Structure 1
Amino acid sequence: MTPKLSGLDHLVLTVADIPTSAAFYQDVLGMDVQQFQPADGSARTALSFGRQKINLHQAGAEFRPHGRAPTPGSADLCFLTEAPLDEWALHLDLQGVGIEEGPVMRSGATGPIRSLYIRDPDGNLIEISVSMARNA
Structure 2
Amino acid sequence: MISHLDHLVLTTAREAACVDFYTRVLGMELETFIGGTPPVQRRAFRFGHQKINLHVQGAEFEPKAHLPVPGALDLCFIVTVPLETVIERLRAQEWPIEQGPVLRTGARGQIRSVYVRDPDFNLIELSQPV
Aligned residue in 2 for 1:27: 24
Aligned residue in 1 for 2:14: 17
1:28-76 CA distance string (max 9 Å, x none)? 0010000111153211110000000000000011111111110001100
CA shift, 1:95, in A, is: 0.6
CA distance in 2, matches of 1:46, 1:20: 14
Q: How do residues 9-88 of structure 1 correspond to structure 2 at under 5 angstroms?
A: 9-39=6-36, 40-88=38-86
TM-score by length of 1: 0.91
User: Which is strand-richer, 1 or 2?
Assistant: 2
Percent identity, please.
50
Aligned residue in 2 for 1:112: 110
Tell me, which stretches of 5 or more residues in structure 2 are unaligned? none
Tell me, which stretches of 5 or more residues in structure 1 are unaligned? none
Count of matched residue positions in the alignment of Structure 1 and Structure 2: 129
CA shift, 1:82, in A, is: 2.3
TM-score by length of 2: 0.95
CA distance in 1, matches of 2:16, 2:96: 21
CA shift, 1:90, in A, is: 1.2
CA distance in 1, matches of 2:41, 2:17: 17
